[in-house]
Amino acid sequence: MGNQTALGFLVIALLAAGCHKDPPLSSDAPYELNLPAGFSMPSIPANNELTVKRVELGKLLFFDTALSVDSTVSCASCHHQQFAFSDNKALSLGVNNAVGFRNAPSLGNIAYHTSFFRDGGVPTLEQQTLAPIEDENEMAFSVPGVVERMKINPDYVALSKIAYDREPDAFVLTRALAAYQRTLITGNSRFDKYYYQNDVSALNESEKRGFQLFTSEKTNCSVCHAGIDFSDYSFRNIGLYEMYADTGRKRITQLDEDYGKFKVPSLRNVELTAPYMYNGSVTTLESAIEHFNSGGKENQYKDALVQPLSLTTDEKQDLLNFLKSLTDVSFIENEEFAP
């Protein structure tokens, strides 16, 4: 190599070195989401791409009661896999049996949500994880407190280093919890086999009629319960009350027009996620169908789509059967999601 060439390479090398540090090599491997037919890749933040160790760390945290002040409550205390990561109580109990503010939603397909909490007050899943830890009716602890506990746990220290190349801190805690929850994808129900996997025999005739009714202009159910997750994640006032004690999204936006509006829930695994509504006030799926059949209670901000439906007994039964076909047994039995 001539002097000129060597000098040239040195110049290029210095230019390339610049002021940036290359990220250290990680021994972690990408985590491949197992997407059912019809599912697109969810949007994942650039600084929290899924990796095997990030998900493993998040799962450890999700099932760890050390996240609560008295080490009695974990995320899984209110988000049970058997109930599609929701709770079977109207309002879950936190530390010292404190009563939660709203019904714990299912975490199935949470990776696709565009905002978090029933009122959409939080824009990212990472930020969402802060709230239950610090809510006095849930874990009643503090993020710095959890981080201190992580720092004295060798497993957390080792996983944090591999997964995020740093000691446990608030960043690691929130990123890992979000990473694990993004893997909770559900889309292998009998309905999916029928609709997305071309198995026409997967649904019986009543379920098929229920699906037709669900998507018909007679019910307008699928206007809001739309798409792959049976939710457009919009906020709607469905006429649950004439006067709402909990003003819903208005609490976030301060806008009158958002009075009594709550995020449209996914209907996947809806058979498993009773009780229903933002406060768990509707105990059965039959009652939920009856609510929409009745057209709800009148209030100024009730959605125009919620109107009396005059469904026959058979039609209600068909709808019920269709909704039950959205149960994904493989989701609640998937050992990859379990501790």
Is residue 171 part of the contact set for other proteins (CB under 8 A)?
A: yes
Q: Least separation, in Å, of the C-beta of 120 and other proteins?
A: 10
Is residue 88 part of the contact set for other proteins (CB under 8 A)?
A: no
- Pair 125, 113: CB distance under 8 Å: yes
Is residue 131 part of the contact set for other proteins (CB under 8 A)?
A: yes
Which of 242, 220, 233, 224 is closest to 308 using CA atoms?
Answer: 220
Report the distance separating Cα 78 and Cα 66, nearest Å. Answer: 15
- Looking at beta carbons only, is 135 or 232 nearer to other proteins? 135
Report the distance separating Cα 177 and Cα 298, nearest Å. Answer: 40
Q: Give residue 311's Cα distance to chain centre.
A: 31
Which of 213, 189, 217, 220 is closest to 203 using CA atoms?
Answer: 189
- Pair 285, 274: CB distance under 8 Å: yes
**Side chain identity, residue 196:** Y
Q: Least separation, in Å, of the C-beta of 170 and other proteins?
A: 4
Is residue 160 part of the contact set for other proteins (CB under 8 A)?
A: no
Residue 81 buriedness (CB in 10 A; 0-12 / 13-18 / 19+): buried
User: Hey, is 137 helix, strand or coil?
Assistant: coil
Is residue 3 part of the contact set for other proteins (CB under 8 A)?
A: yes
Q: Which one of 126, 229, 258, 315 is in contact with other proteins (CB under 8 A)?
A: 126
Q: Least separation, in Å, of the C-beta of 137 and other proteins?
A: 11
Q: What is the dihedral of CA 88, 91, 92, 95, to 10 degrees?
A: -160
Is residue 51 part of the contact set for other proteins (CB under 8 A)?
A: no
Binding mask 320-339 vs other proteins (x if CB under 8 A, - otherwise)? --------------------
Q: Which one of 1, 19, 25, 243 is in contact with other proteins (CB under 8 A)?
A: 19
Is residue 8 part of the contact set for other proteins (CB under 8 A)?
A: yes
DSSP state for residue 187 in the 8-state scheme:
-
Is residue 251 part of the contact set for other proteins (CB under 8 A)?
A: yes
Is residue 98 part of the contact set for other proteins (CB under 8 A)?
A: no
Q: Least separation, in Å, of the C-beta of 272 and other proteins?
A: 26
Is residue 145 part of the contact set for other proteins (CB under 8 A)?
A: no
CA torsion sign, 34 to 212 to 290 to 292? positive
Q: Least separation, in Å, of the C-beta of 5 and other proteins?
A: 10
Is residue 7 part of the contact set for other proteins (CB under 8 A)?
A: yes
Q: How many residues are recorded in the chain? A: 339
Q: Which one of 26, 82, 96, 123 is in contact with other proteins (CB under 8 A)?
A: 123
Q: Which one of 65, 71, 88, 124 is in contact with other proteins (CB under 8 A)?
A: 124
- Pair 173, 54: CB distance under 8 Å: no
Report the distance separating Cα 124 and Cα 103, nearest Å. Answer: 20
Q: Which one of 174, 186, 237, 279 is in contact with other proteins (CB under 8 A)?
A: 174
Q: What is the dihedral of CA 46, 141, 117, 38, to 10 degrees?
A: 50
264-303: which residues touch other proteins (CB under 8 A)? none
**Candidate ranges 52-60, 131-139, 191-199, 233-241; the one touching other proteins (CB under 8 A):** 131-139
Is residue 121 part of the contact set for other proteins (CB under 8 A)?
A: yes
**Side chain identity, residue 98:** A
Residues that bind other proteins (CB under 8 A): 3-4, 7-8, 10-11, 14-15, 17, 19, 47, 117, 119, 121-124, 126-127, 130-131, 134-135, 142-144, 169-171, 173-175, 251-252, 254
